[in-house]
Amino acid sequence: MNEHVKKHSVQWGLIVAAIGISYYVVAYSVDWSLYTNWVAGLLILFLNIGLLIVPVVKVKKAQGGFLSFKEGFSAYVVAWIVQSLVSVTFSILLFNVIDPQAGVEINEMIIDAQIEMMEGFGMPDQQLAEAVEQLEGQNSFSVETQVTGMIKGIVLGAVIGLIVGAIFSKKRPFLDNEQQEETLDA
C-alpha cells in the first residue's frame, strides 16, 4: 500500500474516531436522549463521510495532484475502517464493560423513540405490535449487534469509497512534462 495512503488514512481515521467518541462521551455525560436523536445521528454520519474525504485529497496533493482510482478508494476505505474499529471498540467497552446498565437503559429509550416514530407514521396496530415485539428482543449495544453494525457500515464505506475514488482519481499522463522534455532533448 502506498505510504501516503497509509499515513493520511490512519491519521484521519483516528481523527474522525475521536470526534465520534467525543459525541459518545458528551451524550453519555450530558443527555442520553442524544443517542435516540436521528437528526444528530445523520449529522454525525454526514460529518464522517465528509471528513473521510480529507485523506483522499491529502494523498492526491502529496502525489502532485494525481491519484489512481485504487489509491483514492483505498485512502477512503482504510480511514473508514480505522474510525469504525476505534469507535465500535470504545462503544463496546463503554456499554458492555464500564457501564452495562447504561446500555440497557439507552436501548429502552431507543425502542421507545422508534415506537413513537412508527405511531407518528400511522402504523396499524397489528404491525405496530409485531414491530414492538421484534424491537424488544434486540439490544443495540450488545457486542454482536455492534460488530454486525460495524461490518454493514464498512460495506457502506466501501460503496462510498468507490464513488469517492472515481470522483477524485486523476491519471498521471503517460509522459508528463519532465519526461517529454527529456525525450525531446535526446
Confidence bin at 169 (pLDDT 50/70/90): very high
Mean pLDDT (the chain, rounded):
89
Read off the DSSP letter of residue 142: S
Burial class (CB in 10 A: 0-12, 13-18, 19+), 31: exposed
Give the chain's length: 186
**Tens-digit pLDDT profile for residues 134-151:** 877 788 899 999 999 999
What is each CA distance from 108 to 36, 50, 117, in whole angstroms?
10, 31, 14
Confidence bin at 177 (pLDDT 50/70/90): low
**Tens-digit pLDDT profile for residues 77-104:** 999 999 999 999 999 999 999 999 999 9
pTM of the model: 0.84
Give the domain ranges of the chain: 3-171
**Is residue 180 over pLDDT 60?**
no
